[in-house]
């Protein structure tokens, strides 16, 4: 099984260097093309483009000015430790053992507006670039056009290595749209997380985001390779609910 997660808008640039072997992003040269475009934009232009306040725009501007293709442990952090958000709080990679990280490196992929697709131990520098942002480059009218073929190719390659065609979709719709589903030819299972409110199961975004990370953690720490085993997920009070589930959508409620 291969798991996909969305990145988070907020990133950490202060963590100390890690003490194990890291890797580099597969599509670094393509990330450089996008970074070159963004480096030319002023804080005001970034603010308007990304719909962010001046303070965040200034930080984003500074990060793109400092961004480079030479990634090492002095200026970059493994992707799995870089993002700060509800899904990554649920994932809690800081507590992973080396065995967990090794499994994650093979079975987890993080989709990215700047890097396209990342393995957990790929070194990356802080940035802000959402996949839905309308940036054109070359013949690509937006980031979906820019990344779709490359992301799909990478996912296919990773699944071929595993001799498996099961994709566990823990990404948001914004990032899931960056995959060419027909070309991927995978069995896609999307876990859905709901809370009971007034007797009705509903999706509460902030809880659903964290639950996606919890599910990824559950798969990684238990080294699951059979999608049926996802139904055993019981972190933080969730339980599999057959009556709300289908073959492609596993629903968990609490």
What's the pLDDT at 20? 77
Q: State which residues form the domain around 8.
A: 2-253
Q: How confident is the model at residue 136 (pLDDT cuts 50, 70, 90)?
A: confident
Indicate whether 116 pLDDT > 80: yes
Determine what percent of the chain is predicted with pLDDT higher than 90.
87
Q: How confident is the model at residue 72 (pLDDT cuts 50, 70, 90)?
A: confident
Tokens of 91: 């994932």
Indicate whether 165 pLDDT > 60: yes
CA Rg value for the chain? 18
Please calculate the CA angle 41-44-47 and round it to the nearest 5 degrees. Answer: 95
Indicate whether 5 pLDDT > 70: yes
Could you give the number of structural domains in the chain? 1
Average pLDDT of the chain, as a whole number:
94
Tokens of 65: 């000015």
| DSSP helix/strand/coil, 25 | coil
Indicate whether 98 pLDDT > 70: yes
Burial of 113 (0-12, 13-18, 19+ CB in 10 A): buried
- pTM value is 0.95
What's the pLDDT at 117? 98
pLDDT tens figures, 207-220: 999 999 999 999 99
């Amino acid at each position: 099984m291969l798991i996909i997660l969305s990145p988070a808008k907020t990133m950490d640039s202060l963590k100390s260097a890690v003490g194990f072997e890291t890797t580099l992003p597969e599509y670094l040269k393509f990330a450089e093309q996008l970074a070159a475009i963004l480096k030319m934009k002023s804080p005001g232009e970034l603010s308007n483009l990304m719909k962010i306040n001046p303070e965040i725009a200034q930080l984003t501007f500074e990060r793109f000015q400092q961004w480079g293709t030479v990634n090492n442990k002095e200026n970059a952090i493994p992707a799995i430790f870089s993002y700060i958000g509800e899904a990554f709080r649920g994932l809690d990679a800081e507590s992973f053992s080396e065995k967990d990280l090794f499994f994650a490196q093979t079975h987890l992929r993080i989709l990215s507006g700047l890097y396209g697709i990342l393995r957990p131990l790929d070194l990356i520098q802080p940035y802000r670039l959402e996949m839905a942002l309308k940036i054109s480059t070359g013949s690509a009218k937006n980031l979906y056009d820019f990344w779709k073929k490359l992301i799909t190719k990478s996912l296919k390659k990773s699944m071929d290595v595993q001799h498996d065609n099961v994709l566990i979709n823990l990404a948001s719709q914004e990032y899931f749209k960056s995959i060419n589903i027909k070309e991927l030819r995978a069995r896609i299972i999307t876990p859905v997380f709901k809370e009971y409110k007034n007797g009705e199961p509903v999706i509460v975004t902030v809880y659903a985001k964290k639950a996606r990370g919890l599910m990824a953690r559950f798969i990684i720490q238990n080294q699951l390779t059979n999608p049926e085993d996802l139904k055993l997920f019981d972190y933080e009070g969730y339980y599999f609910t057959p009556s709300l589930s289908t073959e492609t959508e596993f629903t968990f409620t609490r």
